[in-house]
Amino acid sequence: MSEALSPVQRSQFVAHKFGGSSLANAERIRDVARILCARTDPRQIVVVSAMQGVTDALIQLVNAAAQRDQAWRSALEGLKQKHLVCAETLLGQSAESARQFLYAEFADLHDVLHAAALLGTPAKEAMDLVQGLGEVWSSFLLTEYLKSQNESVARLDARDVLLVRAEEMGVMVEWPKSQARFDAWLADTSARRIIVTGFVARDLQARATTLGRNGSDYSGAIFGALTRAQEIHIWTDVIGVLSADPRLVPEAVLVPEMSYHEACELAYFGAKVIHPQTMAPAIDQQIPIIIRSTFEPNHPGTRITAGRSMNPPVKGVAAASGMAILNVEGAGMIGVPGTAERVFGALREAGVSVVMISQGSSEHSICAVVRESDADTAQRAIAEEFLRELDRGAIQAVNVMRDISVLAVVGDGMAGLPGTAARMFDHLGSGRVNVRAIAQGASERNISVAIDTADVHRALRAVHAGFYLSAQTISVGIVGPGNVGAALVNQIAAASESLKQRTGLDLRVRAIAGSNRVLKSDLGLDLSAWQKAYTEAPRDGVDLDAFADYVHSSHLPHAVIVDCSASNSVAEHYSKWLAAGIHVITPNKNAGSGPLSRYQAIMQGAKNSGARFRYEATVGAGLPVVSTLRDLLDTGDDIESIEGMFSGTLAFLFNRFDGSAPFSELVKEARALGYTEPDPRDDLDGKDVARKLVILARELGLKLELGDVDVGSLVPKPLAAGSADDFMAKVSELDADMTARLAAARAEDKVLRFVAKLDKSGKASVGLTALPRTHAFANAQLTDNVVQYRTRRYSKNPLVVQGPGAGPEVTAAGVFADLLRVASYLGARV
């Protein structure tokens, strides 16, 4: 071909190619004409495919006739009627010439098919001739319609000018001869629009042939090159090139521009772009290719050029399935020259195409990804080539792993950008996708990995989101839609749209489970009306294993279960969920303060899988109590002691208890305000505070059980039994003791506070304590939680964390913050 032309040297032509879906019927053909007529191109060369489904129908006709299946006659008639109806709908009273043309065409086709039936075999020449007729008919119909609209138009049968030859790499154009023929044909017409049959050509023996499947797109590029077009527009049924297959990644986005090289890489892996062969003529002459939608003609689509767009660095993520890994392994390969040559030579001789290659620097193994349909052939070829080495043990095995997919990350901007591969593998890891083999070319434009096909959906979505091509989607399941759970759902609902827009985070609440019912939606629940939908859900009971399986969907990369219940039985599931890779977030204190063996199993499950277990709200509701302690430990500080007021209820009671009203009246008030548990003894007995202290002790590495905490309960033994109502009826029995304690504290100019204490040796206690009025706890606000860390760094002046520690909104906010921390770990920009 000629050298690349500058824009000044280009002709006035703009090339357009329309696919079969764009020409499916008369209405679609009218749309194509409207698109062409609405444009201001000086001249147009328009390449068209057959009407949708026609090429396949023609191939079936030839095969049926060759098999002497008489059904070919009725199928031929049906195809003829399809085109006649289209002509009459399109042209109305002007359809007579089109009818005559089609009658003649189908009569000739009948004769060819009859001959194939007599021969009993589908001759290649007959197949090449017949399968290209759809383009002949569609180009005629479009031309006739444009003529009926008084447009300047001419029709070109590509077989009159385009000469090709078949080679091992595919159909190749005879450019000098084709150019000369086309130039001669073009000299005889001044029509503004030239309608060309796609897909068809002639070989050097002047026989009708085709350019193969995807040949119509190839024709578009060929005639774009023959006319030295300004641009080539490929009109199809998608708006352009997407960053991933939308069937696998619904969040895929349009890529507005990309380079030829990027388009070729994505196309190889099955991305709905354009076949690499199609781009060759355009690449040779540096003609921009624009992928556009016939159904949205005003959309700019995707522009493919020689230029390299570095932003974003990754343009797309694609996957090819139906692969297998062939692995040749043996110590006898190390340092032996020519081993790789023998491997790939044997595969070449067997006709096996290699999709991907990976070899460790130790040379102990070579693995190649091949199509699964070629796997047995490849394995036999290698086994025969290395028969002697296998016999003497120099090569230990020639293995095949099936059900493999190759995932590729493509982008010119990856070249020279540190951390691209790291980010890819980080997101594959966090999505729990195991990588079988890795390959990256020196151009750094493509990083490919072989993975199990079962993981391909999750891998695509994890990597796609990881490179900020779409929102980072997290499947969320919530257990316990009570006060805290309901507040959390409402907070997520209020923040979700802002999070998606600002940070690219899609928190998709897909399931909510209570004690006896589950509400779920694969696309995500409507959080604006979830409570009504939940109350209307059937009471079918709750299977937490099935619930977890639903949340941990295979097509979503990440799953989180938030347990907002206070259930001990739900906490029993944590270790299993974490081991399966499900992140767990909870304000439920049973896991952190329950049996030590269960706690250790939970932490081990998280460690083994990499899933996150977050429980900030178990101690201080929305306060950063656990995270502050974790920061101190992670930065190397030594904890001397921890003291805290961990109950907003008890803080309220003793901030108010000044002797002006009996203690029992304050308990009743707190209960009426919703500050206490339904049974106030759950606050007064100190066990809830003790649980929080155990959680902090275990964070320090202390093997503390709840029974190891010295708990000073405020509930006398006679009042410990019976119902909550029974207790409230006798609550005044607390007054004498509490009044005496208050008087004793005042005598020392102190105040009463319910305090938890832990030292570094593991000594733990919870109870009512008299504190000086200068103590930090003495001046806390009404329902504040206060925690005081005395450490090596903060020895003289302890570190204090203080703030509201009670209420569903505050607790839910703490849980929500943990959820966002997990999202950040998974790659969301929060």
Q: Is residue 497 part of a domain?
A: yes
pLDDT of residue 4 exceeding 50: no
Interatomic CA distance for residues 720 and 727, integer angstroms: 8
The pair of three-digit structure tokens given for residue 366, joined into one six-digit string: 């070579």
Give pLDDT, residue 331: 76
The more confidently predicted of residues 362 and 2 is: 362
Label residue 134 by pLDDT band (50, 70, 90).
very high
Q: What is the mean pLDDT of residues 217-242?
A: 93
Which pLDDT tens digit goes with each residue over 710-725?
Answer: 999 999 999 999 999 9
Angle at 522 between CA 518 and CA 525, to 5 degrees: 65
Least confident of 457-471, 660-674, 679-693: 457-471
Say yes or no: 489 and 342 in one domain.
no
CA Rg, the chain, in Å? 37
Give pLDDT, residue 557: 85
Label residue 279 by pLDDT band (50, 70, 90).
confident
Indicate which CATH number applies to the domain containing 457.
Answer: 3.30.2130.10
Give pLDDT, residue 215: 81
Label residue 80 by pLDDT band (50, 70, 90).
very high
Give pLDDT, residue 361: 61
Task: Specify the DSSP class assigned to residue 382.
Answer: H
The pair of three-digit structure tokens given for residue 634, joined into one six-digit string: 């992670």
Say yes or no: 638 and 785 in one domain.
yes
User: Which residue in the list 17, 687, 692, 757 is annotated as catalytic?
Assistant: 692
Residue 379 CB coordination number (10 Å): 20
Say yes or no: 682 and 755 in one domain.
yes
The pair of three-digit structure tokens given for residue 294, joined into one six-digit string: 């016939």
Amino acid at residue number 604:
Q
Q: What is the mean pLDDT of residues 525-535?
A: 94
Share of the chain above pLDDT 70, in %: 97
Give pLDDT, residue 132: 94
Helix or strand run (H / E) with residue 438: strand 435-440
The pair of three-digit structure tokens given for residue 164, joined into one six-digit string: 């090709």
The more confidently predicted of residues 359 and 422 is: 422
pLDDT of residue 272 exceeding 70: no
Interatomic CA distance for residues 430 and 507, integer angstroms: 16
Helix or strand run (H / E) with residue 609: helix 596-609
Hunting for tokens 């409507």 — which residue is that? 526
Q: What is the mean pLDDT of residues 511-517?
A: 94
Q: What is the mean pLDDT of residues 156-176?
A: 91
Largest CA distance in the chain: 119
Q: What is the mean pLDDT of residues 83-110?
A: 95
Angle at 79 between CA 74 and CA 82, to 5 degrees: 125
Task: Specify the DSSP class assigned to residue 242.
Answer: B
Whether residue 641 contacts residue 759, with contact meaning beta carbons closer than 8 Å, is answered with yes
Q: Is residue 277 part of a domain?
A: no
Whether residue 357 contacts residue 390, with contact meaning beta carbons closer than 8 Å, is answered with no
Say yes or no: 455 and 546 in one domain.
no
Give pLDDT, residue 313: 84
Q: How many helices (H) and strands (E) does the chain have?
A: 32, 30
Q: Is residue 198 part of a domain?
A: yes
Which pLDDT tens digit goes with each residue over 116-131?
Answer: 998 887 778 889 999 9
Domain final position from 621, 653, 671: 621
Q: Is 692 labeled as catalytic in the residue annotation? A: yes
pLDDT of residue 607 exceeding 80: yes
Q: Range of 437's domain?
A: 316-465
pLDDT of residue 750 exceeding 70: yes
Say yes or no: 478 and 394 in one domain.
no
Give pLDDT, residue 363: 59
Say yes or no: 604 and 701 in one domain.
no
Say yes or no: 515 and 403 in one domain.
no
Give pLDDT, residue 8: 40
Question: Which residues make Cβ contacts (< 8 Å) with residue 508, sequence separation at least 6?
Answer: 473, 474, 475, 476, 523, 524, 556
pLDDT of residue 3 exceeding 60: no
Domain final position from 237, 272, 287: 237
The gap between the terminal CA atoms of the chain, to the nearest Å, is 52
The pair of three-digit structure tokens given for residue 615, joined into one six-digit string: 């429980």
Query: Residue 21's closest CA among 236, 214, 299?
Result: 236
pLDDT of residue 9 exceeding 70: no
Say yes or no: 43 and 174 in one domain.
yes
Indicate which CATH number applies to the domain containing 516.
Answer: 3.40.50.720
Q: What is the mean pLDDT of residues 282-289?
A: 93
Strands 639-645, 583-585: pairing is unpaired
Whether residue 480 contacts residue 573, with contact meaning beta carbons closer than 8 Å, is answered with no
Hunting for tokens 């951390």 — which residue is that? 419
Q: What is the mean pLDDT of residues 652-658?
A: 92
pLDDT of residue 6 exceeding 90: no
Least confident of 156-160, 200-204, 486-490, 553-557: 553-557
Q: Is residue 118 part of a domain?
A: no
Whether residue 255 contacts residue 302, with contact meaning beta carbons closer than 8 Å, is answered with yes
Q: Is residue 307 part of a domain?
A: no
Q: Is residue 341 part of a domain?
A: yes
Give pLDDT, residue 747: 95
* Structural domains counted in the chain: 4
pLDDT of residue 142 exceeding 70: yes
Q: Is residue 550 part of a domain?
A: yes
pLDDT of residue 620 exceeding 90: no
Hunting for tokens 């938890």 — which residue is that? 756
Contacts of range 149-153, beta carbons closer than 8 Å, 24 or more positions apart: 149/33, 149/37, 151/33, 151/37, 151/192, 151/193, 152/190, 152/191, 152/192, 152/193, 153/191, 153/192, 153/193, 153/194, 153/195
Whether residue 644 contacts residue 798, with contact meaning beta carbons closer than 8 Å, is answered with no
Q: Phi, psi (5° rounding) for residue 652?
A: -60, -45
Q: Is residue 814 part of a domain?
A: no
Give pLDDT, residue 10: 59
Average pLDDT, the chain: 91
Say yes or no: 436 and 564 in one domain.
no
Say yes or no: 448 and 325 in one domain.
yes
Whether residue 31 contacts residue 145, with contact meaning beta carbons closer than 8 Å, is answered with no
- Burial of residue 553, with CB atoms counted within 10 A of its CB: 0-12 exposed, 13-18 middle, 19 or more buried: middle
Indicate which CATH number applies to the domain containing 208.
Answer: 3.40.1160.10
Indicate which CATH number applies to the domain containing 762.
Answer: 3.30.360.10
Whether residue 830 contacts residue 499, with contact meaning beta carbons closer than 8 Å, is answered with yes
Hunting for tokens 């299993």 — which residue is that? 576
Label residue 274 by pLDDT band (50, 70, 90).
confident
Give pLDDT, residue 168: 73
Which pLDDT tens digit goes with each residue over 200-217?
Answer: 999 999 999 999 867 888
Which pLDDT tens digit goes with each residue over 447-491?
Answer: 999 999 999 999 998 898 888 777 788 999 999 999 999 999 999
Say yes or no: 601 and 631 in one domain.
no
Question: Which residues make Cβ contacts (< 8 Å) with residue 177, sequence separation at least 6?
Answer: 163
Domain final position from 193, 217, 237: 237
Sheet containing strand 316-329, edge to edge, reads 354-359, 365-371, 316-329, 397-410, 446-452, 435-440
Say yes or no: 322 and 407 in one domain.
yes
The pair of three-digit structure tokens given for residue 378, joined into one six-digit string: 């490849």
Label residue 7 by pLDDT band (50, 70, 90).
very low
pLDDT of residue 556 exceeding 70: yes
